[in-house]
Structure 1
Amino acid sequence: MSEHWLIRDAELVNEGRRWHADVRVRDGRIARIAPSLAAEPGEQVLEARGRWLLPGMIDDQVHFREPGLTHKADIEHESRACIAGGITSFMDMPNTRPPALTADALEAKYARAAEVSRANYGFYMGASNDNLEHIKRLDPQRAPGVKVFMGSSTGNMLVDDPATLDGIFAAAPVPVITHCEDTPMIEANLAAAHARYGTDIPLGEHPLIRSREACLKSTTLAISLARRHGTRLHVLHISTADELALFAPGPVQGKQITAETCVHYLHFCDADYARLGNRIKCNPAIKTAADRAAIIRALAEGRIDVLATDHAPHLESEKAQDYDHAPSGLPLVQYALQVALERVFDGQLALERVVEAACHAPALRFDVRERGFLREGYHADLVLVDPTRPHAVARAEILSKCGWSPFEGETLRSSIAATFLNGQMAFDGTHVIDSVRGQRLGFAR
């Protein structure tokens, strides 16, 4: 159903600028951006009253667990949480059950999303030691990229054969995105921890087991492969200061090799393990306050290009297990944008830079067609942020299927006042409007 909107007196944040204007939305698109637009017949008017109007966030890394792991998350629940958090498009990872290692498996995920997703959607093809021919035949229009686990993973998705890795980097018709941790180093560190602690490994050992050295070694390998083959490489979830020198600062346009970090690496550090325990156990591990500060600086200067979530829910009962059995990952999408804006309120990041990293850069890196910017003619994926209304995170409002958040009990200094998806109001500041559905992302390749 087409909706006609006039968003009046907003502070627009887009492409390095902030200015006050009105935005007209027609037939799912941004029809006009100008000061003092007069309302037209049939137009619904939203008085922004100077609140920030941003492009919808594009999250380039989520794990929505469907198919096969839907007891803990699914596309419907997690996409609703996205919309409540101002994330209008997501790119989902292939390590489901079965994994998305073929074009048919990929299309099955798209078909499911078309039925239930409240946000726009794209799905990565996965890489394994034995699906190189499927990767070579991938239509670049069908996926944002190919995901390579160059570190620990589940099932058949750890690519540790050098010839296969070389073949993927040489032949992938889309960007290669990598999880970079060196498995042999991690296994040696885990064995040492077991020798010291037995079966009672304290969580504080996690960033030592999944060490900075393991991250640096694997990231260095990925970059060397990309340089050898001219691959478009995107390294996910940078968690250490050590890796930052491997990436160049500056705008994302024209870069062959780019980097992403995630909101939890901006917000938490190893001191938080004592308070939050396995709730913030993730791979790569959250590391020191010095790493956190270096990552924020790298994001500010464009050395890190993209800000995402790595949203990866697990049940509380799963997280309550001991170190060896508690799974890694945490739910993030519902509060990710607000958590990123905490760094703006702290003076560590410019608001314009957050918008570049969370909205513009993923659109540019993955060739997303006509999204990620406030531009006339683009899809009207918009989020209205109230920077004057604090938001206390409470369990009763959590929309992710797992039912918990690592941010519970925190008061964030901004609120999501509204989210528009393809020109329709999808979140009114309190409720997700379930009649609104997302669209399949298009890739301009």
Structure 2
Amino acid sequence: MYDLLLLNATLVNEGRVFQADVGIRDQRIATIASDLSSAPATQVMDVRGLHLLPGMIDDQVHFREPGLTHKGDIATESAAAVAGGITTYMEMPNVNPLTINAQALEDKYQRATGRSRANFAFYLGASNDNLEDIKTLDPQAACGIKVFMGASTGNMLVDDPQVLDSIFEHAPIIIVTHCEDSPTIQRNEQAAREKYGEEVPFAEHPLIRSEEACWKSSSFAVELAKKHDARLHILHITTARELAHFQPGPMKGKRITGEACVHHLWFSQEDYPRLGAQIKCNPAVKRAEDRDAILQAVKDGRIDIVATDHAPHTWEEKQGTYFKAPAGLPLVQHALPSLLDHYHAGRLSLETIVEKVCHNPAEAFEVKDRGYLREGYFADLVLVDLQAETTVTRESLLYKCGWSPFEGHTFKSRIVTTLVNGGIAWHEGQLGQGIHGQRLTFNR
């Protein structure tokens, strides 16, 4: 007896697109077979015409809890995530208080338990003075160690070279980095102030958060990783120049990997006059040439993972002038639809999208039993209709902040159903009744 049968699905998994039925039992994929139509089941869904993908694993989100919950919280943002086909997320440490010790990590797990609609894990943040917390970290307690090698987030900036060297030497699990060089940015900010005063145009953002600032910082991270043979994952690459850090081809065996974010694959410098603060983020959306080069790197394997860096701020906060408007934008509800638009445009294959947002995040972070359509794996699944459209309206948004840079756009696909651990988290435009998200475990 199955809990749920999905009949006549078109599966996208491990480089293949094929027809099969899927039987789900006790939160997991029990059977993938050519014909299960006569098998007994509590619930049966005929999903003919729909594509079945593993749920997206988003390795970079800011859900703002604790301490910043006027912008978003675990409950609201995980709801938006499952509406967008994201079944698992890894959340960042720059909250209040900062997630820089084991106690703060455990507090976040307690907050998420019973409230998160998607599966969850949290990063331990690095600081200039928590090296012992990093050295003694339980590898099951965090998805990774987040190092801000740039000016993004106040007192979590790690700018002591000796501390950085020690982190790369002693980190017991994967290191993920935000790479922007603070002194370079500060010089560029001063030059912009001298030219424009406080009325700096948002189009100056990619010149302030410049290619040079990114290159200088990411080069240092790569240097440290090679020195100590550390496992390094560089987040949100925004420049064509930085692609030189990464090798093309499959991710397996790589010690240094790169990530692109959906907004850096979509927007470019040409969008600042229209969207302004809505696309102000760190690192910045840059030239169309950078966007196109990163998209090509997703195809050739230099970029191994695609994520969101979902970072909501209130609409009111975003109305400030350049230096006052915070950096970050909400993305989880439309990340997968945006990637599927690249499929419709012939830029990415379905197999590549699944590799970058499902398989590779699971492998890079050693996630146990998730990220694939495999018998025995958790039933984290998303059904998409490639023939139905999704128009982004303010009324349709589940983010607490209530806005999206995609507002008014019509995507060419629709997220029909999202299953988390076999439970219906999203179906036909409605959230499911239960809370099915679980704490991640790792093959470590």
Interval of TM-score (by shorter of Structure 1 and Structure 2): over 0.9
Matching residue of 1:164? 163
Matching residue of 2:290? 291
State how far apart, in whole Å, the 1-side matches of 2:75 and 2:172 are. Answer: 30
Matching residue of 1:136? 135
Matching residue of 1:153? 152
Aligned-residue offset at 1:145: 0.6
Please give the secondary structure, in 1, of the residue aligned with 2:429. coil
Amino acid at match of 2:3: H
Aligned-residue offset at 1:56: 0.2
Aligned-residue offset at 1:350: 1.0
Matching residue of 1:367? 366
1:16-165 to 2 correspondences below 5 Å: 16-165=15-164
What's the CA shift string for 1:35-86, capped at 9, x where partnerless? 1212433431111112110000000000000000000110000000010000
Matching residue of 2:242? 243
What's the CA shift string for 1:224-270, capped at 9, x where partnerless? 00000010000000001010011001111111000001000111101
State how far apart, in whole Å, the 1-side matches of 2:189 and 2:386 are. Answer: 44
- Tell me, yes or no, if the aligned pair for 1:316 and 1:402 is still in contact at 8 Å: yes
State how far apart, in whole Å, the 2-side matches of 1:320 and 1:61 are. Answer: 25
Question: Is 1:197 matched with 2:196?
Answer: yes
Aligned-residue offset at 1:433: 1.1
What's the CA shift string for 1:4-61, capped at 9, x where partnerless? 1110111100000000111001110001111121243343111111211000000000
State how far apart, in whole Å, the 2-side matches of 1:84 and 1:199 are. Answer: 39
Question: Is 1:301 matched with 2:303?
Answer: no
Question: Is 1:441 matched with 2:440?
Answer: yes
Give RMSD over aligned pairs.
Answer: 1.0
State how far apart, in whole Å, the 2-side matches of 1:206 and 1:60 are. Answer: 25
- Tell me, yes or no, if the aligned pair for 1:182 and 1:218 is still in contact at 8 Å: yes
Matching residue of 1:181? 180
Please give the secondary structure, in 1, of the residue aligned with 2:162. helix
State how far apart, in whole Å, the 2-side matches of 1:215 and 1:421 are. Answer: 36
What's the CA shift string for 1:268-318, capped at 9, x where partnerless? 101111111100000000001111110000000110000000000000000
Aligned-residue offset at 1:3: 7.5
Change in CA separation of 1:324 and 1:44 when aligned onto 2, cut-off 3 Å: same
Amino acid at match of 1:172: A
So what's the TM-score if we normalise by structure 1?
Answer: 0.99
State how far apart, in whole Å, the 2-side matches of 1:44 and 1:334 are. Answer: 27
Question: Is 1:326 matched with 2:331?
Answer: no
Amino acid at match of 1:314: H
Amino acid at match of 1:48: V
State how far apart, in whole Å, the 2-side matches of 1:344 and 1:374 are. Answer: 20
Amino acid at match of 2:21: D
State how far apart, in whole Å, the 2-side matches of 1:270 and 1:95 are. Answer: 27
Matching residue of 2:339? 340
State how far apart, in whole Å, the 2-side matches of 1:72 and 1:4 are. Answer: 37
State how far apart, in whole Å, the 1-side matches of 2:251 and 2:431 are. Answer: 33
State how far apart, in whole Å, the 2-side matches of 1:344 and 1:177 are. Answer: 28
**Which shows bigger deviation, 46-55 or 168-177?**
46-55
Please give the secondary structure, in 1, of the residue aligned with 2:378. coil
**Which shows bigger deviation, 380-389 or 38-47?**
38-47
Please give the secondary structure, in 1, of the residue aligned with 2:57. strand
Unaligned stretches of 5+ residues in structure 1? none
What's the CA shift string for 1:157-190, capped at 9, x where partnerless? 0000011000000000010000000000000000
- Tell me, yes or no, if the aligned pair for 2:317 and 2:326 is still in contact at 8 Å: yes
State how far apart, in whole Å, the 2-side matches of 1:97 and 1:215 are. Answer: 26
Amino acid at match of 2:347: Q
- Tell me, yes or no, if the aligned pair for 1:3 and 1:423 is still in contact at 8 Å: no
Amino acid at match of 2:234: V
Change in CA separation of 1:409 and 1:3 when aligned onto 2, cut-off 3 Å: farther
Matching residue of 1:401? 400
Aligned-residue offset at 1:115: 2.9
Amino acid at match of 1:431: Q
State how far apart, in whole Å, the 1-side matches of 2:107 and 2:58 are. Answer: 21
Please give the secondary structure, in 2, of the residue aligned with 1:267. coil
Aligned-residue offset at 1:424: 1.0
State how far apart, in whole Å, the 1-side matches of 2:49 and 2:252 are. Answer: 31
Amino acid at match of 2:36: L
State how far apart, in whole Å, the 1-side matches of 2:301 and 2:378 are. Answer: 26
**Which shows bigger deviation, 243-252 or 185-194?**
243-252
So what's the TM-score if we normalise by structure 2?
Answer: 0.99
- Tell me, yes or no, if the aligned pair for 2:102 and 2:137 is still in contact at 8 Å: yes
- Tell me, yes or no, if the aligned pair for 1:3 and 1:28 is still in contact at 8 Å: no
- Tell me, yes or no, if the aligned pair for 1:174 and 1:232 is still in contact at 8 Å: yes
- Tell me, yes or no, if the aligned pair for 2:2 and 2:40 is still in contact at 8 Å: no
Matching residue of 1:219? 218
- Tell me, yes or no, if the aligned pair for 1:84 and 1:429 is still in contact at 8 Å: no
State how far apart, in whole Å, the 1-side matches of 2:325 and 2:190 are. Answer: 17
- Tell me, yes or no, if the aligned pair for 1:39 and 1:45 is still in contact at 8 Å: no
State how far apart, in whole Å, the 1-side matches of 2:198 and 2:411 are. Answer: 37
State how far apart, in whole Å, the 2-side matches of 1:292 and 1:354 are. Answer: 16
- Tell me, yes or no, if the aligned pair for 2:62 and 2:311 is still in contact at 8 Å: yes
Please give the secondary structure, in 2, of the residue aligned with 1:156. helix
**Which shows bigger deviation, 54-63 or 342-351?**
342-351
State how far apart, in whole Å, the 1-side matches of 2:187 and 2:46 are. Answer: 58
Please give the secondary structure, in 2, of the residue aligned with 1:354. helix
Matching residue of 2:422? 423
Percent sequence identity over aligned pairs: 58
Unaligned stretches of 5+ residues in structure 2? none
Amino acid at match of 2:437: G
Amino acid at match of 1:441: L
Q: What is the number of residues matched between the two proteins?
A: 444
Please give the secondary structure, in 1, of the residue aligned with 2:257. strand
